[in-house]
Amino acid sequence: MRGRSPWRYPARIVPLAFLGAIALGTALMMLPAARAEPGHAPFVTALFTATSTVCVTGLTVVDTPTYWSGFGEVLITVLSQIGGFGIMTLATLLSLLVSRRLGLRSRLMAQAESSGLLGGNVGGVLIRVAIVMFATEAVISVVLTLRFWLAYDYSFGRAVWEAVFHAVQAFNNAGFALYPDSLVRFVDDWWICMPISLGVLAGSIGFPVLFELAREWRTPGFWSTHTRLTVWGTLLLGSVGFLVFLIFEWGNPQTLGSLSTPTKVLAAFMQSMMTRSGGLNSISLGDMSNETIAVTSGLMFIGGGSASTAGGIKVTTFLLLAYVIWAEIRGEPDVVIRKRRIAEETQRQAVTVALLGVALVSAGTLGLVGLTDDVPFDRALFEVISAFATVGLSTGITADLPPSAQVMLVVLMYVGRIGTIAVGTAIALNTRRRLYRYPEERPLVG
């Protein structure tokens, strides 16, 4: 009897692939050579770090530059690269698989809408993803190397290593840094903050959108609905984050208050990029106002683009729900975006992904509050959303959590990383059309 192809059950591929990578990463992080001091890392510490790197989150329970050796830092870099590349390729290939499983009519419509966005060559997709990833990281690495070497008197070897490390973290939205304060020490350095911020932006857009923008950047009228939603949604949410940081933190002496005006603008821009997935920070997050924490939590939950290194429920999911609400308020029979009617199946997928995300965050927050004694609710919610959305931002409570709470965050990082991809793919491939319909009923709503 011939073995069944794993593509027969595509929704299982992503969870199993990441689970295997996490298991291997945990074993490697427990090697004595990975730790700066004698002995090996405890299991929970190794598991948490491996999960955070493979799921490109950036949450840490130890101080990365002092706890891990050079070998450990290399492992973090490699695992982050594997995680980011795996997310982009698997999500993109599963999107291609879904389009192939559609009926002829739906497939033709999808191809017309996407303008050949993904193409049909799996090998070509992998090569394009690799080229975009490594080219972007190379450019960031060159800029950072020159800055570290010429402005901070680092040796050339150290400048290259730190530049490569942070370039990989930026594009993969991984969030690890080689400094105890993340990037706070570089808050006023445009040559450090801007390349990293733009790298995070590039990684969070998604490969399908990057590929289409490269082809059609001069003709926005020909963009697919997915690209329009992702690009304009990213600009909208980025602007919201930028304004929120400027307005609520402008006079806060612990964050932006003591900085010059140009530096305030730079710090607000960088944090607006990092909020939805980057995980790095150039200001003290634990000292932010409650208003900023609340808005940041919402932006983290939304996340970045589909088939990207970003997490969350995704920008397209959020905007689709907004269009659904708007159509319902106006009494429109269809949800229409730029003269394109959105399929009911797609609307249900968006509702399902969003509500499952809300349920996971709610359960995780209650669990974290129950497992700890002195963590405020807003800090617990922030930490849980950061883990679920694989953002990596923290108000500073991660390392002080008990092992049980840290394990819970591990589960949230894993489920949050693979959940939206696996659930979305499973729903799309299990969509069935019946030849009959039951009588209609209208329960009271509201």
- Residue pLDDT, tens place only, 128-139: 888 889 999 999
- Place 433 in a pLDDT band, splitting at 50, 70 and 90: low
Q: Which of 114-118, 166-170, 244-248, 281-285 has the lowest mean pLDDT?
A: 114-118
Within 175-224, residue ranges assigned H as helices are 190-205, 207-216
| pLDDT surpasses 60 at 145 | yes
Question: Left, alpha or beta for 56 (phi > 0: left; psi -120 to 50: alpha)?
Answer: left
Write the DSSP string, 295-335.
HHHHHHHH-S-TTSS--SS-HHHHHHHHHHHHHHHHT-SS-
How high is the pLDDT of residue 97? 55
Digit-coded pLDDT (tens) for 30-40: 999 999 999 99
Q: How far apart are CA 400 and CA 123, in angstroms?
A: 45
- Bridge partners (DSSP) of residue 35 are 68
Name the percent of the chain in helix, strand, coil, to the closest 5: 70, 0, 30
pTM of the model: 0.88
Q: Which of 109-118, 198-207, 271-280, 431-440 has the lowest mean pLDDT?
A: 109-118
Q: Do 230 and 317 touch, CB atoms closer than 8 A?
A: no
Mean per-residue pLDDT over the chain, rounded: 86
Digit-coded pLDDT (tens) for 95-105: 555 555 444 34
250 phi and psi angles, rounded to 5 deg: -55, -45
Amino acid at residue number 42: P
Cβ-in-10-Å burial (0-12, 13-18, 19+) of 357 comes to buried
Digit-coded pLDDT (tens) for 186-211: 999 999 999 999 999 999 998 888 88
| pLDDT surpasses 60 at 291 | yes
Contacts (Cβ under 8 Å, ≥6 apart) of 195:
139, 140, 143, 144, 167, 170
Q: How far apart are CA 325 and CA 319, in angstroms?
A: 10
Distances (CA, A) of 175 to 49, 77, 80, 209, 333: 12, 11, 9, 22, 43
Q: Do 76 and 64 touch, CB atoms closer than 8 A?
A: yes
Q: Which of 66-75, 227-236, 437-446 has the lowest mean pLDDT?
A: 437-446
Q: Do 395 and 351 touch, CB atoms closer than 8 A?
A: no
- Bridge partners (DSSP) of residue 337 are 340
Q: Do 265 and 280 touch, CB atoms closer than 8 A?
A: no
How far from the centroid of its chain's Cα atoms is residue 137's Cα? 17
CB 149: neighbour CB atoms within 10 A?
Answer: 18
Parallel, antiparallel, or unpaired: how do β-strands 336-337 and 340-341 relate? antiparallel
Q: How far apart are CA 311 and CA 315, in angstroms?
A: 10
